[in-house]
Structure 1
């Protein structure tokens, strides 16, 4: 039976529309870094590279390659860490955004397997994009998260709720960095209906 993250990992990927505390374990991710406005082509190219690699791994049995521990699964959603190089308090300058976008991988995806699939990407991706792809072990650790419904530009209202929840529960935000998990395809879902999990790391107050 196919492993469905939407059914098996609801706490991580389908939280309610109110803040909650969660401890996120370490997982493996395909990642790629970038800087700039996410509305520009460079961002879409990096996302495309991630999905190309993720689906290449997912479809390996079609090429008669069955890695140790392989099981049928639904590809995980796109995630991203976001921060900014902007140093002033003026209007938000999206060209200064710094990001790491990623797609989580099952535990059978090892560094050896990652190296094995890279030559398979050469007909679909540029050498520059392939060189930027990485397989990393990442943990969000202790965090506050919630489901945000609406446009990306309306996220500050949800972050305000999350910061209030953190303060009321003896938690402090570790940094201004945050993670977004994209559950809706912006090409197919209207802005007001988009679902995005928002998450930021926290420290417990002593």
Structure 2
């Protein structure tokens, strides 16, 4: 059976709906940066999806070609994730989607090194006749954060975020969103196939102990 990160690391990908504090280590990702409303039919976000999955599946299927990645094992491509922020706003204002800045990303298996990533970019560019120059090998770790599972529309996330912030405060933490720590989402459902009220999204906010 292929290695499935969601099943093997349930604490990262399948948290309960009740908020909890967790420490998330650094991981490597294939990532694309952009800005604007993710719902725009021909916007940057939609274009980023093609780039991300183009690289993710080139690496996944590399075992069929001549480039052999040291330590490779069969695995399920991890879910899409996103870091989100807006200039001048601490947190997220869901009514101003046009002001979003984001890093869309997919986790890379630990065996993928920078040279393997560079090979995948060159391979995908040649095979798909597409410009993959926007993709990057990106390392990010949330560190200490409050997280929980959100069920339902993305537009209803503020209520879940409110519960997360209350839980953090009750347990001696404060939200620590900054220029280097972000509102983080992991998408476990495909919005093209799942009913809106059943969408599953992991939400994380970085925290730090309250002073005093």
TM-score by length of 1: 0.93
More strand by share: 1
Deviations 1:55-98 (A, max 9, x none): 100000111432101011110000000111366xx982211100
1:58 aligned residue: 60
Report if the CA contact (8 A) 2:79-2:186 is conserved: yes
1:160 aligned residue: 162
Whether 1:110 and 2:113 are equivalent positions in the alignment is yes
Deviations 1:88-147 (A, max 9, x none): xx98221110000100011111111111111211242632xx111001221110000000
Cα RMSD over matched residues? 1.6
1:3 aligned residue: 3
Whether 1:44 and 2:46 are equivalent positions in the alignment is yes
**What is the rounded CA distance, in whole Å, between the counterparts of 1:134 and 1:10 in structure 2?**
26
**What is the rounded CA distance, in whole Å, between the counterparts of 1:156 and 1:124 in structure 2?**
39
Q: Runs of 5+ in structure 1 lacking a partner?
A: none
Whether 1:98 and 2:101 are equivalent positions in the alignment is yes
SS at match of 1:132: coil
Report if the CA contact (8 A) 2:83-2:102 is conserved: yes
Q: Runs of 5+ in structure 2 lacking a partner?
A: none
**What is the rounded CA distance, in whole Å, between the counterparts of 2:102 and 2:128 in structure 1?**
23
Pairs within 5 Å for 1:1-206: 1-40=1-40, 41=42, 42-85=44-87, 92-122=95-125, 123-124=127-128, 126-127=130-131, 130-175=132-177, 177-206=182-211
